[in-house]
A and B are shown apart, each in its own frame.
Chain A
Amino acid sequence: MKPKKAKKKQLNRSKLGNAGVYFILTLLGAFMILPLIYTISSSLKPLDELWVFPPRFFVRNPTLRNFKDLFRVLSGSVVPFSRYLFNTVLISVIGTFGHVMLASMCAFALAKHKFPGSQIIFKIIVITLLFNAAVTAIPNFMVMTWMNMLDTYWALIIPAFGSTLGLYLMKQFMEQMVHDTVLEAARIDGASEWKNFWHIAMPMVKPAWLTLIIFSFRDLWNMGGTVFIHSEELKTFNYAMGQILAGGIGRAGVGGAAAVVMMIVPVSVFIFTQSNIVETMGASGMKE
Chain B
Amino acid sequence: MNANEVSARAGNAEQIKLTKHRKKLTKDKLKYYATCYAFSMPYFIIFCIFTVCPVVISIFFSFTDFNMMEVPSFIGLDNYIRLFLEDDVFVLAIKNTFILAAVTGPISYLMALLIAWVINDLKPWLRAVVTVVFYAPSLSGNVLLIWTVLFSSDQNGWVNGWLMEMGILDEPIRWLTDKKYMLPIVIVVILWSSLGTGFLAFIAGLQGIDKTYYEAGAIDGVKNRWQELWFITLPSMRPQLMFGAVMSISSAFGIGSIVSGLVGFPSTDYATHTIVNHLEDYGGIRYEMGYASAIAAILFAAMLFTNYVVQKLLNKVGE
Contact = CB atoms under 8 A, between A and B. Distances in A.
Interface of A: 8, 11-14, 17, 21-22, 24-25, 28-29, 31-33, 35-36, 38-39, 42, 51, 53-55, 102-103, 105-106, 108-110, 113, 115-116, 118, 121, 124-125, 127-132, 134-143, 145, 147, 158-159, 161-162, 164-165, 167, 193, 197, 215, 218, 221-222, 224, 227, 238, 241-242, 245-246, 248-249, 252, 255-256, 259, 262-263, 266-267, 270-271, 274-275, 277-282, 284-288
Nearest to B129: A271
Given A121-B44, A135-B253, A116 B33 contact: yes
Contacts of B195: 32
24 contacts: A11-B214, A11-B218, A12-B225, A12-B228, A17-B224, A25-B115, A36-B137, A54-B161, A55-B157, A55-B162, A115-B33, A118-B40, A128-B52, A131-B51, A131-B54, A132-B250, A136-B54, A142-B54, A158-B50, A197-B39, A224-B257, A245-B146, A262-B142, A286-B239
B68 A131 contact: no
A128 B55 contact: yes
Contact of A102 (B46, B118, B155, B156): B46
Secondary structure type dominating chain A contacts:
helix
Nearest to B53: A143
B284 interface: yes
Contacts of B307: 130
Contact of A262 (B39, B141, B289, B296): B141
B146 to A, nearest CB: 5
Contacts of B145: 242, 245-246, 255, 259
A32 B42 contact: no
A143 B237 contact: no
A137 B207 CA distance: 36
Contacts of A270: 132, 135-136, 139
B42 A249 contact: no
Given A238-B142, A267-B139, A142 B289 contact: yes
Contacts of B200: 277-278, 281
Interface in B139-160: 139-143, 145-150, 152, 154-158
Interface in B152-178: 152, 154-158, 161-162, 164-165
Interface string B230-261: 00000001111011001101110111110001
A55 B161 contact: yes
Given A125-B47, A128-B55, A143-B50, A21 B203 contact: no
Interface residues of B, number: 113
Interface in B33-61: 33, 35-37, 39-44, 46-55, 57-58, 61
Interface string B191-203: 0100101001101
Contacts of A278: 131, 200, 203-204, 207
B90 to A, nearest CB: 14
B246 A141 contact: no
Q: Give 8 closest A-B pairs by Cβ, nearest first.
A: A285-B239, A222-B141, A138-B283, A139-B54, A106-B43, A134-B254, A54-B165, A281-B204
Nearest to A138: B283
Given A51-B156, A106-B44, A255 B131 contact: no
A12 B51 contact: no
Contacts of A128: 47, 51-52, 55
B91 interface: no
A35 B192 contact: yes
A80 to B, nearest CB: 20
A130 B303 contact: yes
Contacts of A109: 36-37, 39-40
Contacts of B215: 8, 11
A162 B146 contact: no
A269 to B, nearest CB: 9
B111 interface: yes
Contacts of A24: 118
B156 A110 contact: no
Contacts of A32: 133-134, 136-137, 192, 195
B119 interface: yes
A266 B304 CA distance: 31
B39 A29 contact: no
B43 A102 contact: yes
A216 to B, nearest CB: 13
A286 B204 contact: no
A286 to B, nearest CB: 4
Contacts of B276: 134-135
B134 A259 contact: no
Contacts of B201: 281, 284-285
A68 B204 CA distance: 41
A138 B40 contact: no
A175 B100 CA distance: 36
B52 A138 contact: no
A248 B141 contact: no
B132 A238 contact: no
Contacts of B164: 54
